[in-house]
Amino acid sequence: MTFDRSIKIAPSILAADFANFGAECAAVEAQGADWIHVDVMDGHFVPNITFGPATCAAIRPHIKGVMDVHLMITPVDPYIQAFADAGADVLTAHVEAGPHIHRTLQAIRGAGMKAGVALNPGTPAAAVEELMDMVDLICVMTVNPGFGGQKFIDVTSKIAALRDMIGDRPIHIEIDGGVDPNTAPLVAKAGADVLVAGSAVFKGGSVDHPDPYGENIRNIRAAAEGVWT
């Protein structure tokens, strides 16, 4: 993975056909997705259950680019090696998931992955201030995690504060929740470069009719990039 701050669209397969993940990943990549965002939920840290490392391993061969795995689980540490073995490129843990996020991030990098840290909407930027030299990505939640299709929560001042904190470090700011062509410019302007979108990418399309995926991705990207012109 090379680092740059260009806008990257990361469709969340939480909004895809769960019986057809491989084909859905290939379809959104063919339609212009930059990364594939994979939401792992445990029914404990968040009130919903999705899937675990075995499913990640099964879909990995269907993804050409970056597999971006967002863990909404606690504990994290016992499962890090399993997600490395599954082929995750980026593994993100929540700062709220336990008392030892520092150790968790060390272990993620130690297992050969890029390390991400996620913040819930109620968690301030300062919660990750001491972690700046051990993360590759900061995921700013713009919904309370657990479900797709929720209303965007505006935390643009937190995004801007994180962008300042990052300085010249090669750290991505990823936004997750309620991203669409209306909200993408707000977060891009504040300093985000990776935009996760579930409902807004998959709406109107299917594996057999993937063109809407491409149109949706282009619309989100154009809206985000529009803040620079």
**Residues at the site binding ligand DX5, with contacts judged by CB under 6 A:** 12, 14-15, 37, 39, 70, 143, 145-146, 148-150, 176-179, 196-200
Q: Which helix (H) or strand (E) element contains residue 82?
A: helix 80-85
Q: Which does 8 bind (CB under 5 to 8 A by kind): Zn ion, ligand DX5, none?
A: none
- Is 164 catalytic? The answer is no
Residue nearest to Zn ion (CB): 70
Nearer to ligand DX5, 136 or 229 (CB): 136
Q: Which residues contact 120 (CB under 8 A, 6 or more apart)?
A: 94, 96, 141, 144, 145
- Is 193 catalytic? The answer is no
Q: Taking a C-beta distance cutoff of 8 angstroms, is the pair 224, 195 a contact?
A: yes
2 closest CA partner among 24, 34, 25: 34
CB of 160 to Zn ion, least distance (A): 21
Measuring CA to CA, how many Å separate 4 from each of 69, 110, 113, 130? 19, 23, 17, 23
Task: Write 103-108 long-range contacts (CB < 8 A, 24+).
Answer: 103/77, 104/76, 104/77, 104/80, 105/131, 105/134, 105/135, 106/134, 107/77, 107/80, 108/80
Q: Which does 177 bind (CB under 5 to 8 A by kind): Zn ion, ligand DX5, none?
A: ligand DX5
Binders of Zn ion: how many residues, by CB under 5 A?
3
CB of 168 to ligand DX5, least distance (A): 28
Contact residue for Zn ion among 24, 29, 39, 42 (CB under 5 A): 39
CB of 32 to ligand DX5, least distance (A): 16
Contact residue for Zn ion among 176, 192, 200, 210 (CB under 5 A): 176
Contact residue for Zn ion among 8, 60, 70, 163 (CB under 5 A): 70
CB of 184 to ligand DX5, least distance (A): 11
Nearer to ligand DX5, 48 or 81 (CB): 48
* DSSP3 helix / strand / coil % (the chain, rounded to 5): 40, 20, 40
Both tokens of residue 188?
């891009």
Question: Which one of the listed residues 39, 68, 89, 136 is annotated catalytic?
Answer: 39
Which residues are known to be catalytic?
39, 176
